[in-house]
Amino acid sequence: MGGIPEWGLTLGTSIPCPGPAPAIPTAWSRWTTRTATVWKSLNPFWGEEITLLLPRGFNNLTIYVLDEDTIGQDDVIGKVSLSHQQIAAEPRGIDSWLSLAPVNPDQEVQGEIHLELQVPERGQPRVLHCHLIEARDLAPRDPSGTSDPFGRVSCCGHTLETAVMKKTRFPHWDEVLEFELPEGDLGEAVLNVEVWDWDIVGKNDFLGRVEFFLDTLCPGPTRGWFQLLPFPSTTEDHRRQLGALRLTVKLLEDTVLPPHYYQPLIQLLTEPILCPAQSPEGTALAVLEEVTSGESRQDVATKLVKIFLGQGLAVPLLDYLTTHELARTTDPNTLFRSNSLASKSMEQFMKVVGLPYLHEVLKPVVNRIFEEKKYVELDPSKMELSWGRRISFKGSLSEAQVQESSLELLKGYLGDIIDAIVGSVDKCPLPMRVAFKQLRRRVEERFPLAQHEEVRYFSISGFLFLRFFAPAVLTPKLFGLREQHAEPCTGRTLLLLAKALQTIGNLGLQQGQGKEPWMAPLNAVLLPSVTRVRAFLDALVTVVDEVPVPRGHSQPLATIKEGPLHTCPEGRVALLPRFAFKKRHFRLSTQALAYAKVHQGQVPCSIPGEQVGDMDVGA
């Protein structure tokens, strides 16, 4: 396909145990996922975090980069493949640029074959017995998501084949193929076992191979599962021509135990909250703050928030963490600026509890920005005057005209966003409002002087605007506001709006620093917005304190996870085709699992939390 590609990422794994796995280029299976498409870009940015639940013994993780085509099959641009050993060797994860490798169908193999080999030590004639028992997790080469595999074995100039097993990726042959060996030393004689997909039309598709040097086989039977390998590559390496992919890959191996095993840990973590008279030094939460680094603090904060949400103690947890961070802070200008455990926990708390609120506030404006696709630019160094033809039929506009048009559009979008935010006091979840009220109270106690009056506002706006609203406007896809990433033109509009929201979140305190003087024309909107935001923050924390909910009682509703869910019929153990899976939108909260065919516009079905399982652990 000519022109600029529309990029998409597809991740797949190769595993050595029964179950579906991906293959290029036809069918995709359950351990495959993809990113959104970045349109018309040679330097795509996805910024997506994808979690794959894999069997412990997987062999490879492969990331394919594709060019999405509206008509016909997508074009595979290249791939990055990482072995299990490569990923496991980096406990902190892999974070680097990796060159894309070309994709050759004969190299895209997966699965294992079960063989029993027996070479007689002596005797005439010497007959090699090759028992092809079965294979598992072969690549799907047919559009149905299966293959028609058969074995082909070569040795000493002779070739034999097994029967063809139709429509399966887990063939069971149980055939013994015999080869008469030459007299004397076997030298470098090789036994080559190949697996192919039989096609009635056209050539057969390669599924993998394994080979053995006969002189290395032990006397007696050799039996086991052997990983299928590709043919040795003979093509020229085009890695530099295909580009590179920036990846962060981390392997986590978790063992999930029955809920009662976690109760001692939960009691240890919640002890400082339930027994506040205890000295904070040496508690589990204090130790976590000390031993976690910036890299792991995000994961620790996410798990802490979910655990304490399950206990009905998320708000007291945030109060505990922020209070102890305030005690260590001497300069109010640096308050909550670092990625401390308190800051990360508050950030995760807002994402879990406040995501539906975020959607209700921002989604209408964000959708309008995506639909209108207006050209907006204030920076003269990045201005493309040719875009003026889309604004006016009178030809290209001058720099001043483009700036004036952009300014009016930004004022309109920003005004709608601020109107939606300041009018959302009653829509904000009660746990968030109580957490912000307690935060302001602690800040006032720590910095009571009149000269620090701004801190009581900034302590809340720093979280709500800088870590919640502004990032969601900048990357709506990551917050579930849109299914696709923005095109470059729309992305620039969102970036400028996010910068404006950051200035408002900073209460206008940094707008005079002159880092981006071309943003100055927006000051006429920013300054009045700051005044309105302060009033909004005052109203937000005007709420009756919520009493922590004891364990076993009704808990405040909070979303733990939300997104698409693929379901399949119960009790099916064989490989399922893609059409057997039904896509549903689900929302897991502290009270129930709700699901529906579509995200909105339909009454969801609901399963009570006690029927889902013990959700107190905060899985």
Contact partners, residue 483, CB within 8 Å, separation at least 6: 36, 477
Q: What is the mean pLDDT of residues 509-528?
A: 75
At 123, the pLDDT band (50, 70, 90 cuts) reads low
Q: What is the mean pLDDT of residues 472-500?
A: 91
What is the architecture of the domain spanning 292-541?
A: Orthogonal Bundle (1.10)
Q: What is the pLDDT of residue 514?
A: 52
Look at 162-166, 335-339, 548-552 and tell me which has the smallest mean pLDDT: 548-552
Pairwise CA distance, residues 455 & 344, whole Å: 19
Intra-chain end-to-end CA distance of the chain, in Å:
44
Structural domain spans, the chain: 6-102+241-249, 112-227, 292-541, 559-611
Q: Topology of 112-227 in CATH?
A: Immunoglobulin-like (2.60.40)
Pairwise CA distance, residues 87 & 85, whole Å: 6
Q: What is the mean pLDDT of residues 147-176?
A: 93
Pairwise CA distance, residues 132 & 117, whole Å: 9
Q: What is the pLDDT of residue 573?
A: 40
In the chain, the amino acid numbered 152 is R
Give, to the nearest 10 degrees, the angle between helix 263-274 and helix 294-310: 90
Note the pLDDT tens digit of each residue in 303-356: 999 999 888 899 999 999 999 889 888 888 888 888 889 999 999 999 999 999
Q: What is the mean pLDDT of residues 532-559?
A: 70
Q: What is the pLDDT of residue 217?
A: 76
Q: Across all residues in the chain, what is the average pLDDT?
A: 80
Contact partners, residue 202, CB within 8 Å, separation at least 6: none
With 90 as the cut, is the pLDDT of residue 591 above it?
no
* More reliable by pLDDT, 363 or 593: 363
SS (H, E, C) 389-445: HHHCCCCCCCHHHHHHHHHHHHHHHHHHHHHHHHCCHHHCCHHHHHHHHHHHHHHHH
Q: Which residue has the tokens 């670092």?
A: 338
With 80 as the cut, is the pLDDT of residue 178 above it?
yes
Pairwise CA distance, residues 487 & 68, whole Å: 14
Look at 8-12, 274-278, 548-552 and tell me which has the smallest mean pLDDT: 548-552
Backbone angles phi, psi at 521, to 5 degrees: -60, -20
* More reliable by pLDDT, 265 or 508: 265
CA distances to 154, 442, 496, 542, 543 from 448, in Å: 85, 10, 35, 19, 21
Note the pLDDT tens digit of each residue in 266-310: 999 998 888 876 666 778 888 888 888 776 788 899 999 999 988
Note the pLDDT tens digit of each residue in 205-248: 999 999 998 877 766 788 899 989 888 765 555 555 788 899 88
Please report which helix (H) or strand (E) contains residue 383, including its range: none
Contact between 227 and 211 under an 8 Å Cβ cutoff? The reply is no
In the chain, the amino acid numbered 535 is A
6-102+241-249 and 112-227 share one fold:
yes
Structure tokens at 451: 């000269």
| Range 6-102+241-249 classified under CATH 3.40.50.300 | no
Structure tokens at 130: 């090759």
With 90 as the cut, is the pLDDT of residue 194 above it?
yes
Pairwise CA distance, residues 619 & 615, whole Å: 7
Structure tokens at 431: 């746990």
Contact partners, residue 573, CB within 8 Å, separation at least 6: none
Note the pLDDT tens digit of each residue in 401-424: 888 889 999 999 999 999 999 999
